[in-house]
Structures are given as structure tokens and as C-alpha cells.
Structure 1
Amino acid sequence: MIPLAEGPIVCVGETMAALVPEPVGPLVAAAGLRVAVAGAESNVAMYLADHGIPVRWVSALGDDPFGRRVLAEVAAPGVDVGGVRVDPTRPTGLLVKDPGEVATRVHYYRRGSAASALGPGLLAGAAVRDAALLHLTGITAALSPSCRALVEEALRGPLPVSFDVNYRPALWTDGSAPDLLHALADRADLVFVGLDEAQALWGDRIGTPGDVRSLLPGPRLLVVKDGAHAATVFGGAVAHTVPALHTEVVEPVGAGDAFAAGFLTGLRRGEPLPRALRLAHLTAGAALRVPGDHGPLPPADRIASLLAASEEEWRQLGPPARPEAG
């Protein structure tokens, strides 16, 4: 386990305004665009706030309407946004979604954004110093040299760091992602990574969560997510695997952030690791059931009931078994 001091969980990273075709369809034929908010670290912060965990989001936004929209939406669930800097010289980042029949393409307009100017000096500020834990992602490391330096400096301590690999190929056009994300992840205290994500980064020879652990022996806790099937947490020599819950998926975007928030909630509350994984699955389901990144949690009594369920009762709520190969 990772002992946490008193203080908020502090999530650091860029959040952008997002333009989404409405009704949903290809961008080229869109009659209108809906304004939304998109950011991995602020998604985590919002779900932590939903769970009642003290949480702060630290970033930078432009002095523009998009920035004010982002700040209001992230603050709405109870996230402390007092550490967000408003930059009068740089814009708020922007993304535009282009839904297709098979997948949704994302077009980024974030070069030179306010958050891309974040750097390691942020870590000495009052908004970070009292953190119980820092939550960072691989997205931040891809934004600019100063953002990469921020992540590297955070991993030197003294605060414990949670790191979601969060590999976004569109941000890593120079081919440096496999080596750099491996180096960063292996230095963090807690790491989240998808099995398919690990395979995309580090090769098809990775077939199981155990293979990921062999590649990343450094983190005290390593959580490997196997899509809609299960998640495994490695703590020292011990591993726990908890099946996912069967969920009708409306939109998968944001589910990984919700999962991380659920696990961090369990960690903050001192829950046993299997219960923390259950809470992660329950929180991910809240994101999967809505078209946006942030959906309502199940009622508190439903969460309590499922956390207390037997392994057999939990398994019965899981996804269908994988077909046998052959």
C-alpha cells in the first residue's frame, strides 16, 4: 500500500474545451457543435469530488470564454480550482471530435496553449505543497519540454505520485513514447495502464498483466486494466484480479479516468486492494453509461452493497466469459 498523509489529492494537467457534433455524426456534415470540457486529470478530480474526497485540480487556462467554461464545469462537483492560473497571453486548448462509423477521430488545437507552458516550478507552489498524492498522466509529458520536466521533477519526490500512462498516439509523433513512458511509469508509486495500451507501446509479447508487471517492477502498486473483462492490481509480490461489471456502453471516453478516481478513492479510504478495484469498476461504469466524460455515480447504498458482495455475487454481475481460443 501507499500511506497517504492528510491533504487533498492534487491532479495536474491540461483540460480543453471540446467541440462535439450535435447530433452525433461526421464533422464534415455537422449542423452544429456542442461545447463540452475534456481533460483526463480534471475528469479524475471531478469523480474524486463525487466520492467526497478532498481534491484540487492545478493547471493553466487562457483568459477567454473557453477557459471560463472549463473552470466552472470542473469546479461544479466540488473540485478546488484555486490553483488554476489564468494566462492572459496564451489560449485555452481546444479539441474537435469527428465521430465515424468505427471510431471517433480527435483533432487537437493545443499547441502553445496556456497549459503547455506549465513547468516544474508549479510543484513549489502552495496549491501542491500540501498534497497527499499527486496524480499525473502521460498526456502532460507529451505537451511540451516544460511539461515533461514537470512530470520528471514530480517523480523525484517527496510526494507520492499516481501516474496514468494514458497513451495518446496523436501526441507522440516523434516515436519517443515507448521509452519515455516506460521510464516515467517505472518511477511512479502507483501506475495505471491498459493491457492493450501496454501492447501498443511495448510490443505484442505482452500477453498478460503479469507480463506488464515484469516490465514495470518499480511501482509499489501497478494496476493493469484488461478492457471490459477485469483489472489486476500488483502490490509487492501479491496480485488481485477483480472482474469488471457488465455495462451497456454509450461512450467509452472518460472511463479510464473514472476508473483511476475510483481506485484512488479506495486507496484514500484505506480499503483493501480488491475493494478499491471494485470501486474503480463501479466508477468507470458511471462514465460508460453517458455520452460525455462525466456521469452520475450509482446511489451510495448501491455502491455499499456491491462493495460488500461476495466474490460469487460480484462475478455474476460481470461480463460474459471470453470465448476459448481455437
Structure 2
Amino acid sequence: MRIAVTGSIATDHLMIFPGRFADQLLPDQLAHLSLSFLVDELEVRRGGVAANIAFGLGCLGLSPQLIGSVGHDFAEYGLWLKEHGVDTGPVHVSATRQTARFMCLTDQDGNQIAAFYAGAMAESADIGLPDAVAGSSRPDLVLVCPNDPGAMLRITRECRERDIPFAADPSQQLARLDGAEVRELVDGARWLFTNEYEKALVLERTGWTEADILGKVGAWVTTLGAAGVRVDRRSKAPITVPAVPGARSVDPTGVGDAFRAGFLTALSHDLSLPTAARLGCVLAASALETVGSQAYEVDADRLTRVFEDAYGAGAAQEIAGLWAYWFSAGGSRS
């Protein structure tokens, strides 16, 4: 399966606060909130939802197309992605803006406070799907990730016009989208990805019931954090897969992106939905245990062991035959 991933490409500035945000909040002063957190750690990492997902897909051998807008400071980052199997040919380089920045502060309970500077991403709405995806490089699936809202809507419309299957992953941008925009992004999606909170936002923004939405999408994939993932489809029993037990929470940034990469990779090889959800959870656990969204190592032997420990030898056997294809050189990428 040829997958095009559209959305944000950014640099992550990740900070760790050794306390709890909740301990610093005074309920009767929330209307006058002014806080400064002294942090012990700062990591500057490559990120952006679309780039994170493309990185995972590339490490698993899919050679995804990355579509987005970056600044003139992207050269080193672009080389990194190419080295990890990502086709960056469709990426637009701005002549005036820098690549987007994501700034995130995480406390000891895994709660996060974040800010995002769009930078060159603001030009994405003027680009849409490049002509490169219309010819021999036409994708089998376009994943519409958080991006400039205008770009998300334009790309979704172009997918419909060109009859290209698409997946909706609005996540962080749900806070900026109104009901009509969310309805347009969701309607007709082959896959809809959200976490639990985002699922509630989608229902609130659209005004639709869960049954309404399941009648408009192929499947709704909801990540449940430590509880795993749930896949809902119209008129079918839900599929629930638990998370990998015992995974150490080092940095939750990009964990959902890693899940999507594993999930879509399994689907590209026509594996079952439970197997796809399990592979997504295994890759998510690898990302959770590493600081940075693109710092985890994709190692065939280790992933197989984690898969078997978490889901049993029978489940692991479903993916065993694919490792030779995914890792034709050395069995790992990092």
C-alpha cells in the first residue's frame, strides 16, 4: 500500500517538569493564571504529526510520501527522513518562513502543556495535494493529519475529487475547527483516528451520534492510553486490544503517531484488524519508552519479543513472516 501522509512537520522542544501541574493550580485563581515552571531537562527533537507517522512507516519499510510545508532550515531534517525511508519529494519549502515549532512541557504524571508555532505550515493551505500524487505515485491512502485547517479541508476535498481513499486524523486541531469543518473532514473517511478526549470533541463538534459517524466512516479507531485501543465499525462488534503491559512512560509525545504507523503498516500487508491494533500498540510502547517522537529503534527481534510477550506466540506468528520483507538489511532501523 502506498501511503501519503499530510500534515505538520515541526521541531519539538520537549521539557520535563519534576513536579505536578495540579499542585501549582489554585482553583479560585484560574481566571488570573500566570505560571512559570522551572524545568530540569530540555530535548530538541524532530517532530510534527505527519513527519512522525511517516518516520514510523518508513522504518517499517513502506516508503511513504510526506506532504507538508517547511522552512529553509529543513535540509538536515529532510535528510534524516530520507535515510529512514520517507519520500520527501512532495514537501514544499517556504522562501520566507521557518519550519514549525512544537513546545511541550510534561509533568511527572505525564500531563502536558503545549504550544505550537505554525511557521511555514501556514502555507500548506495554498498547496494541497501536489501533482506528484496524481500520476504513477498516486497513493492508495492519504492520511490527513493536523495541519493548517485550510490545508486539511482542501486536501480532504481533493481526495474526494480524485477518488483517493483518505483517513481523518484531526486530533490537536479539533480545538480550532468548527462543526461544519469537522463534519467535512470526517464524512467519507476510510479510517477515523482519535483518542478518548478527541472522540468526545468530534461528537460535540459534529452534533452527530456515534452511530451517525460510524455510518459515515469505514472504521473509528480510538486510542485509550494505558487501556490500549478500540476499533468500532458499523453493525459489527467492537475490537478492543490492550496496551503492551509494563511499558515505561518516559515521554508520551508522539506515541499516538507511532501507533498509527504500526497500525497502517499491518493493514498495508492485509493483516487483520486485531493484528494491526497490536502492532500499533507495540510500536507505541517503543515510542513511549524513548524521549523524542523519532528516537525509538525499530528492531525486528525486539518487536517480535514484545509482541509475543504481550499478545502470545500465536498472535506474534501472524507478523513473523513479514519481518524479512520489512528488514531486508540488518533487521533494524533507528
Q: Tell me the TM-score normalized by structure 1.
A: 0.77
Q: Does residue 217 of structure 1 match 2:211?
A: no
Q: Identify unmatched segments of 5+ residues in structure 1.
A: 316-326
Match of 1:80 among 87, 100, 116: 87
Question: Bigger shift: 277-286 or 154-163?
Answer: 154-163
| 2: CA distance, partners of 1:249 / 1:178 | 34
Aligned partner of 1:135 among 131, 143, 153 = 143
Residues 68-100 of structure 1 deviation map (CA, whole Å, 9 limit, x = unaligned): 343233333221112212221232222333345
Match of 1:255 in 2: 255
* Alignment-mate amino acid for residue 87 of structure 1: S
When residues 71 and 202 of structure 1 are mapped into structure 2, their CA distance, relative to the original with a 3 A threshold, is same
Whichever residue aligns with residue 154 of structure 1, its letter is C
Name the aligned partner's letter for residue 115 of structure 1: M
Q: 2:53 aligns with which of 44, 49, 53?
A: 44
Q: What secondary structure is seen at the aligned counterpart in 2 of 1:119?
A: helix
Matches within 5 A, 1:229-268: 229-238=227-236, 239-246=238-245, 247-268=247-268
- Matched position secondary structure for 1:114: helix
* 1:152-191 deviations in Å (ceiling 9; x for gaps): 332444111122131346x51xxx4444224312321111
Alpha-carbon distance in 1 for matches of 2:166, 2:188 = 9
Equivalent residue number for residue 281 of structure 2: 281
Give the structure 2 partner of residue 118 of structure 1. 124
Match of 2:28 in 1: none
Amino acid corresponding to residue 107 of structure 1 in structure 2: A
Q: 2:270 matched to which residue of 1?
A: 270
- Output aligned runs, 1:25-40, within 5 Å: 29=38, 34-40=43-49
* Gap change, CA 1:201 and 1:236, over 3 Å in 2: closer
The yes-or-no answer on 1:164 pairing with 2:163 is no
Letter in 1 for 2:266: G
The gaps in structure 2 that reach 5 residues or longer are: 20-34, 316-334
Distance 1:88 1:276, change over 3 A: same
Cα distance change, pair 104–302 in 1 and its aligned pair in 2 (3 A)? closer
Partner of 1:321: none
Q: Amino acid of the residue matched to residue 121 of structure 2?
A: A
> In the alignment, what sits opposite 1:323?
none
| CA positional deviation for 1:54 | 2.1
Does residue 197 of structure 2 align to residue 196 of structure 1? yes
Residue 45 of structure 2 aligns to a residue in which SS? strand
Per-residue deviation, 1:256: 0.8
- CA gap of 1:37–1:306, structure 2 versus 1, over 3 A, is closer
Check conservation: 1:262, 1:280, Cα contact below 8 A. Answer: yes
Shift of 1:32: 8.2
Determine what percentage of the aligned residue pairs are the same residue.
23
Report the CA distance between 1:290 and its aligned residue: 1.0
Structure 1 partner of 2:182: 181
Q: Please state whether the residue corresponding to 1:197 is helix, strand or coil.
A: helix
Give the whole-Å Cα distance in 2 for the aligned partners of 1:202 and 1:185.
Answer: 11
Are the aligned partners of 1:250 and 1:288 in contact in 2 as well (CA < 8 Å)? yes
For the residues of structure 1 that align with 2:76 and 2:178, how far apart are their CA atoms? Answer: 31
Tell me the amino acid that sits aligned with residue 80 of structure 1: D
Q: How far apart are 1:126 and its partner, in Å? A: 1.0
Partner of 2:114: 106
> Which structure has the higher relative contact order (CA within 8 Å, separation 6+)?
2
- Between the aligned partners of 2:309 and 2:198, the Cα distance in structure 1 is 30
Query: Is residue 2:9 matched to residue 1:12?
Result: no
Deviates more, 1:75-84 or 1:255-264: 75-84
* Separation of aligned partners in 2, 1:263 and 1:11: 14
The aligned amino acid for 2:142 is L
Distance of 1:72 and 1:262 partners within structure 2 = 22
Count of paired positions: 293
Is the CA contact (8 Å cut-off) linking 1:98 and 1:105 kept in structure 2? yes
Partner Cα distance (2:38, 2:239) in 1: 47
* In 1, Cα distance between equivalents of 2:218 and 2:152: 24
Distance 1:310 1:19 in 2: 32
**SS at the partner of 2:129?**
helix
**1:322 paired residue number:** none
